[in-house]
Amino acid sequence: MSISWASAQTTTADNKRPHGHPHKKITQAAHDSSPSMMGATAPTDAEKAELVQVHGARHNAPGGGLMVHEDAAKSRSTVTQEFIANQTPGVNPMQLIALLPGVNTTSVDPLGLNGGNMTLRGLNSSQIGFTLEGFPINDIGSYAVYPQEIVDSENLRSINVEQGSADLDSPHISASGGSVNMYLLDPKDRFGGHIDGTYGSYNARRIFGRLDTGKIGNTNLKGYMSFSAADEKSWRGPGSQKKLHGETKWVNEWGNGNRISLAIVGNQSNSVLFPSMSLANWQKYGVHYAYQSKWDPKNPSANYYKLHQNPFTNIYASAPSTFHLTDNLTLTETPYFWYGNGNGGGAYSESLTSQQYGSQSLSASIGQYNASNTKSLLVYNPSNTQTYRPGAVTKLTLHTGINRLMVGYWFEYSKQIQTSPYSLVNMSTGEPYDVYGNGVNMVLSNGQTAQYRDTLTQTRIHTMFIDDSLSLLNNKLTIEAGLKYAIVMRNGHNFLPETSTGPYINGSWNEPLPAVSIRYKLNNQIQLFASSTTNFRIPMNTSLYDAGTYTSGTGYSTKANPNMKPEISISEEAGVRYQGDLINSTLTYFHYNFTNRLYSQTVVQANGSYYSQSINGGGSHADGVDFEIGTRPILYHIRPYVSAEYIDARTDSNVAASSSGDYVFSKGKFAPQTPKFQVGFHLDYDDGHLFSGFGLKYVDKQYATFNNDTSIPSYVTMDVHAGYRFKDFSFLKNPILRLNIQNITNKQYLGFVNGTAANGKAATGVFGSKLSAGSTTYYVAAPFFVGGSASVDF
């Protein structure tokens, strides 16, 4: 197999060098001709920003591929293909960045086919902007990220994590924190291909194949097509996770850096969800708390696993292209289209005799059931979302001597249809008649299908940005300032009857977002940098609508809050980098302030059911330090890497308690979902044939409530891998055998706070009210897993 490299590197083999010691670096990053470090989200920008030329052994990247040469005037960490290629094939991007500073990730299954969760400096994934090839990945309504749907790891060139802020040209309306940018490998110049297969614990099976066309005829046009299929049995309870995934990328280059590319990603998956965990269930059942595996028609249960499926189909298409209009003027264009259709299934027992939506009651009969005499009925209630999302990011960059000016515009128009029909269950088998709820439905007296939610949201985004960069003192000093102005308009239509806001809801947000940075190079090894940025996140679209069950006199169980203000953050960073021939390291101090911090809070209802809603948590702030260090090969081909973070994150306001009208004493308390300490360690060995690695991650305890009365404990996980690259055999190039072991101690732990609450135990409120215990929920992290893989190029 040919060894994959981050395209940020150009290397020359030299087998005479003993023990893989590094050779002298001959050039630094070509930042003088690279784009602005505040506008480097497009794939061609990222390539220039990371360019390094090195003489040395093939496996020479610092930290085993967990670092690159960096010139940005802010914190940024990068995982390269060299590291990615050694991990379990097919794991999702969140799993691949777990060791970077500030990153706290949890996967609920070994291959990451059931999704994943993460925080970055204590901010959750809905506050972090995710892009692939320069286009947005976050859900346009909830800003959620589904990492299992994005990309096959074999096609990833690199993933960079910007811990403090997204770039000015990043297409996000939710990145009040940092960003995660993923880039695909380019097609190869010559015809060839790659095949790998994996088998592991829980009958996990996966196969991947990619075919490169090489340059077609006498043109520079080249492309690849890839396909993967994965299947993994659930380790908690019954069911499995299945995924079919395809990707293609085409590139044509000509002249002085002109480039047109097209990337298309298709994904179809169907998984059985794992139930989130309460502390009571964790203490009682541990990892054995799961959905039921058997169906009893005489005693139907909403916890039957076939009622909790997660089918989803999505297609991403993007055409990031760059044109050098003149010697000094560059146009970068990234049009994209995003389609998704899927749901998360659920089931509930509903009372038909009292079911009513305003003046609309249920019709006389639902299938074989009579609404007038059926007190309770188990119904399937999937949460469907269908999204159509075209957009484009356009920018012009003008280079005039020591000055670089960038202007750009991002436009997007999205349409998101969200429904949740009450549908009947096949009482013989326990399965829904239709996984999308399109079977026999509960019908209102006006003939409409009864829904938990039924909305159409249209979002229009107009964002202008400008950035000016000045390089002085023979490029030792770079000063940069920019401004993004975002205009976001949402038009909503709630099809449920008799809602508190009426059927039509409009929202509009206008936000100026300034940014400034400075970088000074003391010499070729040491850089000082500082930056200050303003970011925002508008409220989720669900805040516009009433939803849920209807109670006469009180209305719907979830209330609309269309007047919520956007979340505003101001982030400052200051740091120092050392990038020598042997060692790369970065130390960064950061501070952020939030206004109108938007949280997801779990609200418990009188009947014991609960739901999540977005609340304004007031202000918050944090101070912290990030650190990472990695070496090129030292003695015996060893390359260590260490990352660490300390953060002191505090809530600045007393937060509303659920359904009480009072507040908890949260002012000054430590922020939930935020570990105070994190440490990552990776030790890599690679002599060109034999390779191995050991990874360790320590995560401190995480509070689940704003008044800090409930938390999950700290934990340590460890992974190892080992493999061997064989010599070429006939037309088969470099076959590889690899063994990957995840969570080698089989640590059983709660890895992520999924649903926060104001208080987790009974308490007294600010105004003296007696507050009942709130409901907090958690995700159980993936267990021990061993997988063997074989791969070959041709």
In this predicted structure, what is the pLDDT of residue 364? 62
pLDDT-derived band at 652, boundaries 50, 70, 90: very high
Type of residue found at 457: T
Type of residue found at 118: M
pLDDT-derived band at 232, boundaries 50, 70, 90: very high
- Beta-bridged to residue 710, according to DSSP, are none
What residues have CB less than 8 Å from 558, skipping those under 6 apart?
Answer: 542, 545, 546, 547, 548, 611, 613
Burial class (CB in 10 A: 0-12, 13-18, 19+), 646: middle
In this predicted structure, what is the pLDDT of residue 37? 60
Tokens 């005039």 belong to which residue?
400
d(CA 232, CA 234): 6
CB-based contact 192:222 (threshold 8 Å): no
Q: Give per-residue pLDDT as tens, 344-386.
A: 888 988 777 667 777 777 776 676 676 666 677 888 999 999 9
d(CA 11, CA 70): 17
| Torsion-angle region of 499 (φ positive above 0: left; ψ -120 to 50: alpha; else: beta) | beta
Domains defined for the chain, CATH in brackets: 9-296+305-607+614-793 (2.40.170.20)
Bigger pLDDT: 497 or 553? 497
Report residue 213: phi and psi, to 5°. -75, -25
Report residue 353: phi and psi, to 5°. -70, -25
Radius of gyration of the chain (CA): 26
Q: Give per-residue pLDDT as tens, 161-211.
A: 999 999 999 999 999 999 999 999 999 999 999 999 999 999 999 999 999
Bigger pLDDT: 564 or 186? 186
In this predicted structure, what is the pLDDT of residue 106? 93
Question: pTM, whole model, 2 decimals?
Answer: 0.91
Q: Output the six-digit token pair for 257.
A: 């850096």
CB-based contact 424:359 (threshold 8 Å): no
In this predicted structure, what is the pLDDT of residue 486? 97
Q: Output the six-digit token pair for 632.
A: 């090129």
**DSSP secondary structure code for residue 189 in this structure:** S
d(CA 519, CA 471): 9
- Residues in the chain, total: 794
- Beta-bridged to residue 344, according to DSSP, are 383
In this predicted structure, what is the pLDDT of residue 256? 86
pLDDT-derived band at 1, boundaries 50, 70, 90: very low
Burial class (CB in 10 A: 0-12, 13-18, 19+), 199: middle
Q: In 444-503, at which residue ranges do the beta strands (DSSP E only) sit?
A: 451-472, 477-494
Q: How many CB atoms lie within 10 A of CB 124?
A: 24
Pick from 349, 339, 335: which is nearest to 313 by CA?
A: 339
| Torsion-angle region of 154 (φ positive above 0: left; ψ -120 to 50: alpha; else: beta) | alpha
In this predicted structure, what is the pLDDT of residue 57? 47
